[in-house]
């Protein structure tokens, strides 16, 4: 499941399409401009994104609009959560190491007597 | 818990603010003592052999299982308790920004690839804001976990990445 999501996003053209759709729904023609490939290529990538559940489409008269679906992103986010925690705890250690060095360098100043 | 969706789905950005000077924060990334004092996942320590804080400079270290539990866990998986890591400073602007690029070349059957961590620093008053940008899709740590069996699928995924081109 997660593997599929990463696999889907492993392609740079599909990532460009996804990033373009972050701004809202678009038609194929608009996506061609940002994707850097021909319309047939964009249609193929959109089909893959549709099948993977990243994108949904709706027809309005003769036009077809594509938009992102939040589900796979939530899934990716959940998958990344342990990784983020790993780095959060690493940066906790960074902070602790920083604090320790500061203390070692500047012994606490004794309260002044006047 | 924050649940914000990153603008690029594959990238993680973590920001921290520390009460410190730029010099102190910089030292933790660019000196042997500093780097050894915090780097490495829980249960591991690192021993730095080379840390050349200049553009293209080497960062070579051993990642060593440090707790009895981790040593036992590595042994149980048939992995050595220590393994060498080789990285390069691919960006370096003193007190501003640095990037460390590691070569992931220890996976059998997987085309070697690079993994980069970027760090941005900004001082404000007596604090420093540190922004760490990570790409988990090509991350050494995550790949290691996959080798260790946490996510055995990931190695296959990397193989696909190696072959992926459209």
- Look up the domain containing A22 and give its range: 2-69
Residue A97 and residue B28: Cβ atoms within 8 Å? yes
> Do residues A65 and A76 both lie within one domain?
no
pLDDT higher than 50, residue B156: no
Give domain status of residue A114, yes or no. no
> Do residues A51 and A101 both lie within one domain?
no
> Do residues A64 and A86 both lie within one domain?
no
* pLDDT score of B111: 59
CATH topology of domain B12-163: Alpha-D-Glucose-1,6-Bisphosphate; Chain A, domain 4 (3.30.530)
> Do residues A81 and A42 both lie within one domain?
no
Q: Could you give the number of structural domains in chain A?
A: 2
- When mean pLDDT is compared across A21-25, B61-65, B100-104, B119-123, the lowest value belongs to B100-104
* pLDDT score of B112: 63
| Rounded average pLDDT over A82-105 | 88
For residue B127, what pLDDT band results from cuts at 50, 70 and 90? very high
Which chain B residues touch A70 with a CB distance below 8 Å?
5
The per-residue pLDDT for range A23-79, each reduced to its tens digit, is 889 999 999 988 888 999 999 999 999 999 999 999 998 899 999 988 887 777 777
For residue B114, what pLDDT band results from cuts at 50, 70 and 90? confident
CATH number of the domain encompassing residue A43: 1.10.10.10
For residue B94, what pLDDT band results from cuts at 50, 70 and 90? very high
Of B126, B117, B116, B119, residue with least CA distance to B95: B119
* More confident position, A53 or B4: A53
List residues bridging with B121 in a β-sheet: B130
ipTM above 0.85, yes or no: no
Which chain B residues touch A76 with a CB distance below 8 Å?
9-10
> Do residues A52 and A79 both lie within one domain?
no
Output the pTM of the full model: 0.65
Residue where the block lists tokens 């040593």: B71
Residue A97 and residue B38: Cβ atoms within 8 Å? yes
Give domain status of residue A110, yes or no. no
* pLDDT score of B71: 87
> Do residues A47 and A35 both lie within one domain?
yes
Nearest by CB: A84 against B8, B10, B12: B12
The per-residue pLDDT for range B10-45, each reduced to its tens digit, is 578 889 999 999 999 999 999 999 999 999 877 889
Give domain status of residue A86, yes or no. yes
pLDDT higher than 50, residue A87: yes
* pLDDT score of B109: 54
A89-95's contacts with Cβ under 8 Å and 24+ in sequence apart are A89/B42, A90/B38, A90/B39, A90/B40, A90/B41, A91/B14, A91/B16, A91/B130, A91/B132, A93/B38, A94/B16, A94/B18, A94/B28, A94/B38, A94/B130, A95/B16, A95/B18
* More confident position, B62 or B111: B62
Which chain B residues touch A84 with a CB distance below 8 Å?
12, 14
* pLDDT score of A71: 82
Structural domain boundaries of chain B? Answer: 12-163
> From the CA of B78, how many Å to the nearest CA of chain A?
23
> Do residues A13 and A34 both lie within one domain?
yes
Nearest by CB: B38 against A45, A80, A93: A93
Interface size, chain A vs chain B, as Cβ–Cβ contacts under 8 Å: 88
* pLDDT score of B46: 93
């Amino acid at each position: 499941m997660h593997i599929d999501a990463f696999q889907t996003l492993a392609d740079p053209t599909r990532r460009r399409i996804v990033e373009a759709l972050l701004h809202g729904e678009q038609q194929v023609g608009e996506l061609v401009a940002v994707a850097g490939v021909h319309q047939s290529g964009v249609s193929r990538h959109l089909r893959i994104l549709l099948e993977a559940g990243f994108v949904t489409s709706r027809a309005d008269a003769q036009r077809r609009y594509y938009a992102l679906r939040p589900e796979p992103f939530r899934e990716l986010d959940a998958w990344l959560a342990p990784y983020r925690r790993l780095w959060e705890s690493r940066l906790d250690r960074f902070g602790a190491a920083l604090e320790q060095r500061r203390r070692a360098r500047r012994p606490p100043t004794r309260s002044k007597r006047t | 818990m924050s649940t914000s969706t990153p603008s690029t789905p594959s990238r993680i950005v973590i920001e921290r603010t520390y009460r410190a000077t730029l010099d102190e924060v910089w030292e933790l990334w660019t000196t042997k003592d500093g780097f050894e004092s915090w780097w490495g996942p829980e249960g591991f320590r690192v021993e730095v052999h080379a840390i050349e804080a200049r553009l293209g400079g080497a960062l070579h270290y051993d990642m060593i299982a440090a707790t009895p539990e981790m040593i036992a866990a590595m042994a149980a998986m048939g992995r050595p308790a220590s393994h060498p890591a080789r990285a390069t400073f691919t960006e370096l602007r003193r007190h501003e920004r640095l990037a460390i690029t590691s070569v992931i070349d220890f996976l059998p059957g997987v085309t070697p690839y690079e993994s980069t961590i970027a760090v941005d620093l900004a001082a404000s008053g007596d604090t420093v804001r540190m922004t760490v940008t990570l790409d988990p899709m090509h991350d050494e740590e995550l790949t290691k976990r996959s080798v260790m069996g946490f996510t055995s699928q990931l190695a296959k995924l990397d193989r696909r990445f190696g072959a992926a081109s459209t």
